[in-house]
């Protein structure tokens, strides 16, 4: 794979990359042939009131409103994998010969979130080389952590289990450029501690001005590896789908 190192661009280039990432994943990986999809973003849940809801959440931001403001984008039901969580023993994935219909029980499920970085940092942080430093909004990361915290262990249904949020991450400057991981595995190497306020830039940057966290991209897996190891894809299928995404985003595979 080739590698293009973007050294400037800020918020607009990152947003454009994220949009292309979502489009490519929806075309090659998170497809309706493989998954049943329930859209959970504000624009889908609130229709013509979405803009009003978003404005109210932003104007009254805090730990309660952030649960809705940063809720994951979509819920996916894998039509080819069953993973019955109600089992009394640790559930094992069961591959299906044909895609399930919407009456199936116990399908493997996960939320998905899409992020990107288009600007390489000038210096390393905590010993992490700049080409491996990723970034996401601090409040988004905190909200995902709350959503994926494990259940308490009380010897009852779903003891100790957690929700799954798959993070799909594009970093134009990083060696593999396309990565994925479960959100709860993401540990920050640096946290911006400036106070976040509505209708106000907390940080004087070229980006959105909201506080962020930096993390070591090497905590994530290359996209094809995540599909195989964590989403139960066949390896040749995962490799082919990953190459198609690379071609969409970067013009090569």
Please write the tens of the pLDDT for every residue from 97-141: 999 999 999 999 999 999 999 889 889 999 999 999 999 999 999
d(CA 219, CA 80): 27
Query: At a CB cut-off of 8 Å and minimum separation 6, what does 201 contact?
Result: 208, 209, 210
Give residue limits of the domains in the chain.
10-250
Q: How many C-beta atoms lie closer than 10 Å to residue 236's C-beta?
A: 10
pLDDT grade for 183, boundaries at 50, 70 and 90: very high
pLDDT average, residue stretch 166-193: 96
Burial 20-33 (b: 16+ CB within 10 A, else e): bbbebbbebbbeee
Q: Which helix (H) or strand (E) holds 50?
A: helix 50-59
d(CA 231, CA 22): 17
d(CA 253, CA 247): 5
Q: Is the pLDDT of residue 191 over 50?
A: yes
For the chain, strand residue ranges (E) read 35-39, 74-82, 94-95, 107-117, 133-137, 165-171, 178-182, 188-191, 212-216, 221-222
- Express each pLDDT in 8-21 by its tens digit: 345 567 789 999 99
pLDDT average, residue stretch 139-166: 93
Q: How many C-beta atoms lie closer than 10 Å to residue 200's C-beta?
A: 9
Q: Are 40 and 74 in contact (CB under 8 A)?
A: yes
Task: Please state, rounded to an integer, the average pLDDT across all residues of the chain.
Answer: 89
The pLDDT of residue 52 = 96
d(CA 134, CA 209): 16
pLDDT average, residue stretch 170-197: 94
- Express each pLDDT in 54-98 by its tens digit: 999 999 999 999 999 999 999 999 999 999 887 656 678 999 999
- Express each pLDDT in 16-59 by its tens digit: 999 999 999 999 999 999 999 999 999 999 999 999 999 999 99
């Amino acid at each position: 794979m080739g590698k293009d190192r973007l050294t400037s661009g800020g918020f607009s280039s990152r947003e454009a990359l994220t949009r292309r990432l979502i489009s490519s994943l929806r075309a090659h990986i998170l497809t309706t042939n493989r998954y049943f999809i329930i859209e959970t973003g504000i624009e889908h849940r609130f229709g013509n009131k979405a803009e009003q809801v978003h404005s109210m959440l932003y104007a009254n931001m805090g730990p309660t409103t952030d649960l809705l403001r940063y809720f994951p984008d979509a819920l996916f039901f894998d039509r080819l994998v069953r993973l019955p969580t109600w089992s009394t023993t640790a559930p094992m994935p069961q591959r299906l010969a044909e895609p399930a219909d919407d009456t199936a029980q116990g399908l493997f499920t996960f939320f998905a979130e899409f992020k990107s970085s288009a600007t390489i940092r000038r210096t390393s942080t905590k010993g992490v080389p700049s080409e491996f430093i990723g970034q996401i909004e601090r409040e988004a990361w905190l909200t995902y952590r709350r959503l994926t915290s494990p259940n308490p262990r009380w010897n009852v249904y779903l003891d100790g289990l957690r929700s799954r949020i798959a993070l799909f991450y594009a970093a134009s400057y990083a060696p593999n450029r396309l990565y994925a991981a479960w959100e709860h595995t993401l540990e920050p190497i640096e946290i911006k501690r400036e106070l976040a306020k509505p209708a106000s830039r907390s940080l004087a940057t070229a980006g959105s001005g909201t506080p962020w966290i930096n993390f070591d991209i090497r905590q994530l897996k290359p996209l094809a590896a995540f599909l195989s190891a964590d989403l139960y894809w066949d390896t040749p299928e995962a490799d082919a789908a990953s190459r198609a995404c690379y071609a969409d985003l970067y013009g090569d595979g």
